[in-house]
Amino acid sequence: MAGQTRTVQILGLAVMIAVPLLVGFLGSQATSEHTDGWYSEADVAPWNPPSWVFSPVWTTLYIMMGVAAWLVWRRRLTFAVWAALGLYIAQLVLNSIWSPLFFAGYPAWGTAALWAAMGVILMLIVLLALTIRAFWPISRLGAVLLLPYLAWVIYAASLNLYIAMAN
């Protein structure tokens, strides 16, 4: 029985980490051709980091997100856990929408795509804050693990806003 529980926990952790990593991978597929295209020519914020920074930062954040979700999922026998994970999934969906909208949308729809992406990222910030709040009573460590993600998304929103205004 203890071995089965340990196996379930390890599999749960693997799935919880794999899901956001998959979201990140799919998002990177939508961005890769455009980062060398219109984005490389765009007027970006002076505080925009070099392109090579994004991949390791997002990979780290996706792993932290997965661990955070797993810490909450481990207490899955209460309703509050499922409500918290519902918020987590909702913010992950918004996360998955942002990259294709921002990067692939611009060539097709122009600045309207950049402003739509700004709306998505603002909703993501709200949902992420609600997710952290929902995680807190279940797993404080899980909530804390999401704080760097929230900080990065707020930073990304500032980059999005600058690009939408300047281009």
pLDDT tens digits for 68-91? Answer: 999 999 988 788 899 999 999 999
113 alpha-carbon distance from chain centroid: 19
pLDDT tens digits for 146-164? Answer: 999 999 999 999 999 999 9
For 37, the 3-state DSSP assignment is coil
CATH number at residue 31: 1.20.1260.100
- Report whether 75 contacts 138 (CB < 8 A): yes
Structural domains in the chain (count): 1
d(CA 137, CA 70): 15
4-16 burial code (b ≥16 CB/10 A, e <16): eeeeeeeeebeeb
For 74, the 3-state DSSP assignment is coil
Cβ–Cβ contacts within 10 Å for residue 113, how many? 19
pTM of the model: 0.91
d(CA 7, CA 132): 27
Containing domain of residue 111, as a range? 2-166
